[in-house]
Amino acid sequence: HLITDVSALKNTTTLTLSCCAGITDVSALVNVRALDLSGCHNVTDVSALTNVKILNLLGCDGVRDVSALSNAIALSIAKCTRITDVSALSKLKILNVSHCTGITNMSTVSGVMVLRQEHHVRSAERRAGDITSKLHSLLRLPVGFSPIV
Among the listed residues 103, 71, 100, the one whose alpha carbon sits nearest the alpha carbon of residue 88: 71
Judged against a pLDDT cut of 80, whether residue 82 lies above it is answered with: yes
Q: Give the separation between CA 112 and CA 43, rounded to whole angstroms.
A: 26
Instruction: Please report, for residues 89, 99, 107, the alpha-carbon distance to residue 141 in angstroms, rounded to integers and kept in the order given.
Output: 23, 27, 31
Q: Give the separation between CA 41 and CA 119, rounded to whole angstroms.
A: 23
More confident position, 112 or 85: 85
Q: Pairing mode, if any, of strands 94-96 and 113-115?
A: parallel
Judged against a pLDDT cut of 70, whether residue 99 lies above it is answered with: yes
Beta bridge partners of 61: none
CB 64 within 8 A of CB 45: no
The secondary structure of residue 85, as a DSSP letter, is B
Judged against a pLDDT cut of 50, whether residue 143 lies above it is answered with: no
User: What is residue 101's predicted lDDT score, i.e. its pLDDT?
Assistant: 85
Which amino acid makes up residue 50?
A: T
Per-residue pLDDT band for 111 (boundaries 50, 70, 90) equals confident
Judged against a pLDDT cut of 70, whether residue 118 lies above it is answered with: no
Per-residue pLDDT band for 134 (boundaries 50, 70, 90) equals low
**pTM strictly above 0.75:** yes
Is 124 strand, coil or helix? helix
